[in-house]
Amino acid sequence: MRLDLSGKTALVTGSTQGIGFAIATGLARAGARVALNGRGEAGVTSAIDRLRGEVPDADVVAAAGDVSTDDGTARVVEAVPDADVLVNNLGIFGTQSPLDITDDEWRRYFEVNVLAAVRLTRAYLPGMTSRGWGRIQYIASDSAIVIPAEMIHYGVSKTALLGVSRGFAKAAAGTGVTVNSVIAGPTHTGGVEDFVYELVDKDLPWDEAQREFMRLHRPQSLLQRLIEPEEIANLVVYLASPLSSATTGAAVRVDGGYVDSIVP
């Protein structure tokens, strides 16, 4: 398959590192003009330099702004007035005892993990439908379905994203715009390394710590290892391409078989 996104503009939120950066890199390799997003100018500029190091001919633009706020979202939309592909990747996570999660913390998780994506969908979906083509994706998680006891606020926010995705897919029905969510499994990022070491012996070498984490805390994974960010990006790039035209309203899994279900 040739995944060609030449002539398309793609905005990826939270794309200065981790899964977001891998997605942005994959989209750039497919020929898209890619807008990198992060809260600060310095982080975005550094990420652009790194992406151009990996994809020398990449067309990359800066879209700095905290999209969990109205002002930050306005800054991003000003930098990228129109997008053909929107990947709502931004998200926060962390462990906390369920009875200790405050109302303010619940609100913060919904602002960042859910409402940021809703704001940007409202900003870009009308332009996509008027042009008759577009791709919107929400990076969800296996935690949306298998709610983790140690971070139910995170899991529930990702469950909400699945509903948001399905609802906007219905709003875009028949327009040439597809809307999907991607259920990502446990993935190897810097932030996840910190998370793993919160739950296993901090003195273990990384390879042993990863295996211990999967054995004790994610035993249902059929892959039996953490997923690499590029493996998530491969699916996202496909869903962003013209070849995915019949996939919409879906929750597509790239979870290493973590979710115990025969239905995607």
Q: Quote the CA–CA distance of 18 and 83 in Å, as a whole number.
A: 22
Listed in sequence order, the DSSP H helices in 9-151 are: 18-29, 41-54, 70-79, 103-110, 116-131
**Catalytic: 154?**
yes
The 10 Å Cβ neighbour count of residue 217 is 15
Active-site entry in 138, 154, 238, 258: 154
Q: What is the 3-state composition of the chain as percent helix, strand, coil, each rounded to the nearest 5?
A: 50, 15, 40
Query: CB of 114 within 8 A of CB of 160?
Result: yes
The 10 Å Cβ neighbour count of residue 143 is 23
Active site residues: 154
